[in-house]
Structure 1
């Protein structure tokens, strides 16, 4: 079964001379593969969901259908959470940049973006309150007094922990998209 979200880095490896190697630029895409921490957490959530589904089948066979329905609903919530965890990250298209979080999604048109730059600063480790020194890709909006929003991605989030080369490639790709479409 093809998993298209795992092939983003291969497209950039194959087209090193082209900054934007995609034909359909209106389609939202993540310019990097999800990291092993994010994929591992989603796999553990799906493993938990399989046990909950098994429990729901047993409850449905031996108990009441309403209790089995509640447990099936709990499994559906866990599966939806795992899928949402895999969709988290920065997405780009010709229309703008989209930052997908677990519960929220923010989208900015390229005309609203003043600059996209990589800076060295304290960043959150795996999204936890603990901060470490790392790099962050910051997006500065137009009309703001150079006040950057939350970082699009960092070297210590679930996608790029222990993968600094992948962070550099992804940051370069997002900066290339910004340079291409902010002008137009």
Structure 2
């Protein structure tokens, strides 16, 4: 499958806020672990290195997170796994309105981009209107949705 993947949008500044937040949380966890277990010397270095490695890997995944397109298909990179689909396996690209329920309360109505496969299965993308990339840029969300649809339609021709 195509090796030239392009993310049709620039990541939002919210990603850097998340990465900073995670750095602070892991620094606090490091400090608490060192204090809790009375670590010294090599123990301190080991805990600090392990949690720093976790942060680097997590930060890299957060930065790479998103939807990528190529002439051959679509790549969805999540925090834990990635998924590739050829355009010929995609039946359609749609917007879906999601409602989050907590008990009897409805919290938020959100638009997400959903990919429908020919076998009837649907694949959630990492694109949602109120996410870190599009919260302050709603027009960009619609433009990205249209770009993915256009890529799919041109691949079908």
TM-score (norm 2): 0.76
Alignment counterpart, residue 156 of structure 1, candidates 130, 150, 153: 130
Please state whether the residue corresponding to 1:150 is helix, strand or coil: strand
Counterpart Cα distance in 2 of 1:86 and 1:27? 18
With a CA cutoff of 8 Å and minimum separation of 6, indicate the structure with the bigger relative contact order: 2
Compare the two structures and name the one with the higher strand fraction: 2
Could you list the runs of 5+ residues in structure 1 that have no partner in the other structure? 1-24, 54-62, 125-129
Aligned to 1:57: none
Please state whether the residue corresponding to 1:111 is helix, strand or coil: helix
| Change in CA separation of 1:122 and 1:168 when aligned onto 2, cut-off 3 Å | same
Could you list the runs of 5+ residues in structure 2 that have no partner in the other structure? 31-39, 101-105
User: 1:158: how far off?
Assistant: 2.0
Query: CA RMSD, aligned part only?
Result: 2.8
User: 1:109: how far off?
Assistant: 0.8
CA-to-partner distance for each residue in 1:85-121, whole Å, 9 max, x for gaps?
11111111122111111111111111100111234x1
Counting matched residue pairs gives 144
Contact preservation (8 Å) 1:46, 1:79: no
Equivalent runs, 1:12-161 vs 2, <5 Å:
26-46=3-23, 63-119=40-96, 121-122=97-98, 131-144=107-120, 147-161=121-135
TM-score (norm 1): 0.66
| Change in CA separation of 1:99 and 1:118 when aligned onto 2, cut-off 3 Å | same
